[in-house]
Amino acid sequence: MKKRKAEETVFKLLMIASITLILCILAGVLTVIVIKGASSLTLAMLIQTPEGGYYLGKGGGIANAIIGSFYLAFGASLLSLLFGLPVAFALQKEYLSPRLAHLTRLSLDILWGIPSIVYGAFGFIIMVYLGLRASLLGGIIALALLMLPITIRSIEEVIRMTPPELKEISYALGTTRIETTLSVVLRQAIPGIMTGVLLAFGRGIGDAASILFTAGYTDYIPRSLFDPVASLPLAIFFQVATPIPEVQQRAYASAFVLLVIVFLVSLISRLLSRRFSRHMVR
């Protein structure tokens, strides 16, 4: 009896310790970034593009990177949703045989595990082959490749949670497979779809390696899909890499901006998903 109680206590302590550790890591990251970055975060930094000598400590801001990152991450999220949703739907047993679905899932899991620099290199080779130079479009495509497995797998996970009886009810009313998918399964899965897209968005907006060659970097805001584009992760990288302390501080300020964006997008999508889950059948 004593032994069992001791076991219970040990495991409880372990859980508390792990949770504390997680919270500490988050608090640590936030503290470092705020302390080091907040002081050099100014309005000018948010709304101006770099002036000549910005990376040597002169005036300007990172508006090019903020806007660039938005373009890249939203474009890639949209693209990966556009191609991911049909795949996620097709993985249902009405469309694909279980063996083929299993194979697809396995491939997706492998793709998920591929380091993002590989997507960058792959995207770069394709672009060279097609004669494209580093551009917003190239960055969006490379990022979308990176995000696709995340989007598909997380959407598919919620789609699989749709009670089979619910689909049966819909079929019993005389619906076709696609009608059931679009008007029952899709509605049921909307909150999950938003979570999936958000997850992919978070990964995408923070990724530097895949866009390093494909999107390039520029001090200007892109005017078309074929212009090179700046991004926050690369802005952070370039600024941290300089030997000048003020510029390094700006790197932390940029990291802070990135963090706030991820936080805001997460918050908004959570609110939206609560609104959309009103009708969800549990």
Partner 1 sequence: MPHISLSNLTISYGNQKVLQNITVDIPNNEITTIIGPSGCGKTTLLKSLNRLVDLYEEIHVQGEVRIDGANIYDPKADVLALRKKVGFLSQKPYPLPMSIRDNITFGPRIHEMNGKNLLCQIQKLEKHIPIDSLCPNGRQKETKLGKNPEMAYLVEYYLRLAGLWDEVRERLDAPATQLSIGQQQRLALARALAVEPEVVLADEPTSALDPISAQLIEKQFKILKNYYTIVVVTHILRQARRIADYVIFFYLGELVEHGPAEQVFSAPRDPRTRAYISGEIS
Distance (Å, whole) CA 146 – CA 111: 8
Closest distance of CB 105 from partner 1, Å: 18
Residues of span 51-110 touching partner 1 by CB under 8 A? 93-94
User: Is 175 a binder of partner 1 (CB under 8 A)?
Assistant: yes
Q: Which residues contact 84 (CB under 8 A, 6 or more apart)?
A: 148, 151, 152, 155, 196
Are 151 and 237 within 8 A, CB to CB? no
Residue with tokens 């083929």: 100
- Residue in 163, 245, 260, 264 binding partner 1, rule: CB under 8 A: 163
Closest distance of CB 89 from partner 1, Å: 16
User: Is 168 a binder of partner 1 (CB under 8 A)?
Assistant: yes
Closest distance of CB 106 from partner 1, Å: 21
User: Is 274 a binder of partner 1 (CB under 8 A)?
Assistant: no
Distance (Å, whole) CA 69 – CA 136: 10
Q: Is 157 exposed, middle or buried (0-12, 13-18, 19+ CB in 10 A)?
A: middle
Distance (Å, whole) CA 148 – CA 167: 26
User: Is 280 a binder of partner 1 (CB under 8 A)?
Assistant: yes
What is the torsional sign of CA 35, 39, 44, 50? Answer: negative
Distance (Å, whole) CA 30 – CA 50: 26
Considering the complex, state which of residue 4 and residue 282 has its C-beta at the smaller distance from partner 1: 282
Which helix (H) or strand (E) covers residue 31, if one does? helix 2-37
Considering the complex, state which of residue 188 and residue 231 has its C-beta at the smaller distance from partner 1: 188
User: Is 31 a binder of partner 1 (CB under 8 A)?
Assistant: no
Q: How many residues does the chain have?
A: 282
User: Is 174 a binder of partner 1 (CB under 8 A)?
Assistant: yes
Distance (Å, whole) CA 157 – CA 132: 36
Residue with tokens 């479009």: 137
Considering the complex, state which of residue 94 and residue 109 has its C-beta at the smaller distance from partner 1: 94
Closest distance of CB 91 from partner 1, Å: 16
User: Is 170 a binder of partner 1 (CB under 8 A)?
Assistant: yes
User: Is 161 a binder of partner 1 (CB under 8 A)?
Assistant: no
Radius of gyration of the chain (CA): 23
- Residue in 188, 210, 239, 249 binding partner 1, rule: CB under 8 A: 188
User: Is 171 a binder of partner 1 (CB under 8 A)?
Assistant: yes
Which helix (H) or strand (E) covers residue 174, if one does? none
User: Is 166 a binder of partner 1 (CB under 8 A)?
Assistant: yes
Considering the complex, state which of residue 117 and residue 169 has its C-beta at the smaller distance from partner 1: 169
How many residues make contact with partner 1 (CB under 8 A)? 25
| Residues that bind partner 1 in the complex, under the rule CB under 8 A | 93-94, 163, 165-176, 179, 183-184, 187-188, 278-282
